[in-house]
Structure 1
Amino acid sequence: MFRAGRSLGVFGVVAALAAAAVTAVASPAMAAPGCVGVSGVGSSGGPANAAPWLNGNTGGLPGLSGRTTAIEKITGTYSPNKTVDRFNVLGTDLGIMWDNGAGQILTAFGDTTGLSRNPTCDGLVGEWRSNVLFRSSDRVLADGMRIDSAPKDGTGQAREIISGLKIPGVEASSIPTSGIAVNGVQYLSYMSVRNWGEAGQWSTNYSQIATSSDNGETWTMRPETLRPNIGGVLPAGVAPVAGSENFQMSSMVKDGGFVYNYGTPAGRSGEVRLSRVPEGAILDLSAYEYWNGNGWIRADPAAAVPVMGGRIGEISVQYNEFLGKFVAMYADAFSSIVMRTAPSPVGPWTAPETLVNLVEVPGIYAAYIHPWSSGSDLYFLATTWADYNVMLMRTTLVR
């Protein structure tokens, strides 16, 4: 397990030089003679300058009132994980966590930037990857979450695990939305983003599942799980399926031999619908059942009705032993992080309780529950737009 200590690798050296020259490189460089082109940072994503000392932010943790506290930056320049030095992860978002079933938490991130290897052509910030994955075995979360390892490319940086075309209007990016482990296999749902729009709005081509049998090192796309979206750029012979537009993003949780999938449309303004499938049939769309408010309907996503209303962004659902209930977290219409609970996967869900107010932390989003939360401590990751990095937070639960 990686703990505090300073060792400047190649990316650390670049970071030190960059910090010294910050005033000279405050914006990406224009293409210089001999450059093939300028690499985009792209995405929903982070500012082009995903470093606090470039984008005018302090990089510090927010001070909060109430039952929620910010514990530690997990990624970026100010993280004890040294993600710039070790993985060339300067800026990223999301942080979707699941238990791999073998003593580690796997965490998938969204659009990721690093320090460019060719700043003359690309500017200081580049090395855009649509997604990366970290592994952690840290069970002592009160002082942070240490990262053990990540799948890397030949240069030593965390590599993109699910490739995307990176062509706006066709496929701008491939973004993870949920992960789960069943019988030693890792399942990662992701969305093929066609275009990024205004804040909190985007369009998708489809959602799909990828699988890994080597603890997230390599992934296989599973086209048999593809859920086409209306208006999406789809593979030949694939047509939209009524109701699939409501399952472009998801949160998967296991209960009673089933995998429950809480689905939302693309973006941060959809209601939540629910499907379930036996654990052993997760790749078989014909085996999925959809909650219609009274019971389960087989293989008909259009039958699903909302189980949670309102404008809901990037939902995360886990069962909580302390409460003896299912807990859902997400960013609401006001960009505050809220929590709801329910006695069963279908509900009924309580009214939202605000955990982090947008006034205290502007631009916060993507709250993902840590599966190893215990007792009254509910740990979660969240992203701040200004710093475009992920931090670990904790809220105290009350029965």
Structure 2
Amino acid sequence: MRALSRSWSSVLSAAAVAVALAASAVSPASAAEGGPCGQGESGSSGGSSGSSTGSLAGLMPWITGPPDGGVPQLTGRTKAIEMVTGPGSPNNTIARFNVSGTDLGIMWDNGNALGRHDVLMAFGDTVGDCEADGDDWRSNVLFRSSDTVLSDGMRIDSSPLSGPNNSKEIIPGFAIPGEYTTIPTAGIAVNGVQYVRFMSVRSWDTPGNWTTNYSAIAYSTDNGENWTADPATIRTNIEGIDVPGFPAVSPGNSKFQQSAFVDGRDGFVYEYGTESGRQGTALLARVPAGQIRDLNAYTYWNGSTWGTDLAQAAPVIGSPVSELAVQWNGYLGKYVAMYTDATNSLVIRQADRLEGPWSGKQTILSGTLVPALYGGFMHPWATGQYLEFVATTWDRYNVIYMRTDLNGLQMKATDQADRPDPATTGDARLLRVEYPDEQ
């Protein structure tokens, strides 16, 4: 039997957890079963932990197994290099940061903050020791990396800590009633200040669907060590939230609950917005970079021009768009949008302009070869022939470092034809999965 961290020794078999959470919200304390720390196992620690209001065990019971550090060995243009987090990761995140399971890994260049040139990497719901009270659960954590050799993996230098070898929750949100967790969805640096758009999750509904209370921006002036959530940036999504300082729901807020930031290098920060869950379209806003925390300074692409009315924003990428990332790629000479599509595969589209048009889809990592796949986020320093990115799977509930050869993927933005999945043509295959004790 393959070796696992002690943190995962009490996890129940994946066969017990292929279930969906009821659409109505339940309290974290009553939903202490499920998730990678005791999936459905009676007596699991579960419960509330940290400064937010839930445990990963109670939030996502459809996670299909304990993180096991398995690295898929693939043929074709996309290769899995290593685990960034969890069991088997050369970063040793369990011992160094008490991070046994986590997801997403949204990346951005820190803009040389404090004289350091780092990539900052924000993760979602995170657990440490499953035998600890509350599973050492945190809504989010952050890593820093100055590793400039992208081809062989990603070395983590440091993380904001709450104590020895324990990554702290960086953005607790506003702790309003019904706030389960606060998950980063986009990050960007402007003049040495870090900004993260995060979503406040009210309920995990059926798989691929969730409901948010709001999205908002948090900022850090010390390279991600400490963060302040700005109430002026809140986009309230749910009627009836009666919290002092919270704005009322406005038309279009629901379309900007998750984001992707892009530095337009024209004095503007561009922000793609999608709704809660994995079924929506992508809209586009822009704001003068120095006014990123002023919602009144944002304008929205309506299909032909920029306007001030969010309700008039037009989709720039059609549904379904899930966990979107966008950046310029010098090798392709195009902007690249990466997201998970309806087949649970990671796809890219290409465009000459941020407003589009966007090309048809090209599958770079098939969900049939790497099941339970989601959340592809590109390395901000990947601009050449090889595109490095990270991805998560529910069964591992950890982040995998990937690399794709872009040679031959050049595509005109006006070419709207989707390309076939390489897994269906035989151009990509899964050979095996290597586990930590086999490597």
Q: TM-score, normalised by structure 2?
A: 0.79
Aligned counterpart, 2:120 = 106
The answer to whether the 8 Å contact 2:287/2:299 transfers is yes
Residues 43-95 of structure 1 show CA distances to partners (whole Å, capped at 9, x for unaligned) of: 3488496432xxxxxx3211223211111100001100000010010000000
Aligned counterpart, 1:384 = 393
The answer to whether the 8 Å contact 2:257/2:275 transfers is yes
**Using a 3 Å threshold, how does the CA distance of structure 1 residues 64 and 238 change in structure 2: closer, same or farther?**
same
Match of 2:95, SS state, is helix
**Using a 3 Å threshold, how does the CA distance of structure 1 residues 26 and 341 change in structure 2: closer, same or farther?**
closer
- Please, which of 250, 256, 261 is the counterpart of residue 271 of structure 2? 261
Residues 338-397 of structure 1 show CA distances to partners (whole Å, capped at 9, x for unaligned) of: 000100110110011111111101111000010011320111110011010001111111
**Using a 3 Å threshold, how does the CA distance of structure 1 residues 205 and 296 change in structure 2: closer, same or farther?**
same
Q: Structure 1 residue 185 and structure 2 residue 201: aligned? A: no
More off after superposition, 154-163 vs 276-285: 154-163
Aligned counterpart, 1:195 = 203
- Please, which of 98, 107, 120 is the counterpart of residue 88 of structure 1? 98
Aligned counterpart, 1:375 = 384
**Using a 3 Å threshold, how does the CA distance of structure 1 residues 130 and 324 change in structure 2: closer, same or farther?**
same
Q: Structure 1 residue 288 and structure 2 residue 298: aligned? A: yes
- Please, which of 243, 260, 278 is the counterpart of residue 235 of structure 1? 243
Aligned counterpart, 2:28 = none
Aligned counterpart, 1:69 = 79
Match of 1:280, SS state, is helix
Aligned counterpart, 1:160 = 169
**Using a 3 Å threshold, how does the CA distance of structure 1 residues 296 and 143 change in structure 2: closer, same or farther?**
same
Gaps of 5+ in 2: 13-35, 50-54, 411-439
- Write the letter of the residue equivalent to 1:106: L
Match of 1:129, SS state, is coil
- Write the letter of the residue equivalent to 1:177: T
**Using a 3 Å threshold, how does the CA distance of structure 1 residues 83 and 45 change in structure 2: closer, same or farther?**
farther
The answer to whether the 8 Å contact 2:344/2:373 transfers is yes
Q: Structure 1 residue 218 and structure 2 residue 226: aligned? A: yes
- Please, which of 168, 171, 178 is the counterpart of residue 170 of structure 1? 178
Q: 1:311, CA displacement in angstroms?
A: 0.6
Match of 2:96, SS state, is helix
Aligned counterpart, 1:246 = 255
Distance in 2, Cα, partners of 1:77 & 1:19: 9
List, as ranges, runs of 4+ consecutive aligned residues in structure 1 with deviation greater than 2 Å.
15-23, 25-32, 35-52, 63-66, 164-167, 230-238
The answer to whether the 8 Å contact 1:227/1:248 transfers is yes
Root-mean-square deviation (CA), in Å?
2.6
Aligned counterpart, 1:51 = 67
Gaps of 5+ in 1: 1-14, 53-58
**Using a 3 Å threshold, how does the CA distance of structure 1 residues 44 and 320 change in structure 2: closer, same or farther?**
farther
**Using a 3 Å threshold, how does the CA distance of structure 1 residues 376 and 116 change in structure 2: closer, same or farther?**
same
The answer to whether the 8 Å contact 2:11/2:66 transfers is no
Residues 142-191 of structure 1 show CA distances to partners (whole Å, capped at 9, x for unaligned) of: 11000000001124300100115789x71110000000000010000000
Match of 1:214, SS state, is coil
The answer to whether the 8 Å contact 1:210/1:221 transfers is yes
**Using a 3 Å threshold, how does the CA distance of structure 1 residues 20 and 178 change in structure 2: closer, same or farther?**
closer
Distance in 2, Cα, partners of 1:22 & 1:92: 15
- Please, which of 206, 213, 225 is the counterpart of residue 214 of structure 2? 206
- Write the letter of the residue equivalent to 1:211: Y
Q: 1:314, CA displacement in angstroms?
A: 0.3
Distance in 1, Cα, partners of 2:318 & 2:46: 48
The answer to whether the 8 Å contact 1:63/1:360 transfers is no
Distance in 2, Cα, partners of 1:245 & 1:283: 18
Residues 4-24 of structure 1 show CA distances to partners (whole Å, capped at 9, x for unaligned) of: xxxxxxxxxxx865678889x
The answer to whether the 8 Å contact 1:379/1:392 transfers is yes
- Please, which of 306, 323, 329 is the counterpart of residue 315 of structure 2? 306
Distance in 1, Cα, partners of 2:46 & 2:123: 29
Distance in 2, Cα, partners of 1:232 & 1:244: 14
Within-5 A mapping of 1:14-33: 27=38
More off after superposition, 101-110 vs 229-238: 229-238
Aligned counterpart, 1:10 = none
The answer to whether the 8 Å contact 1:170/1:233 transfers is no
Q: Structure 1 residue 321 and structure 2 residue 323: aligned? A: no
Aligned counterpart, 1:56 = none
- Write the letter of the residue equivalent to 1:114: G
Match of 1:141, SS state, is coil
Aligned counterpart, 2:427 = none
Q: 1:323, CA displacement in angstroms?
A: 1.5
Equivalent pairs, count? 370
Distance in 2, Cα, partners of 1:273 & 1:395: 27
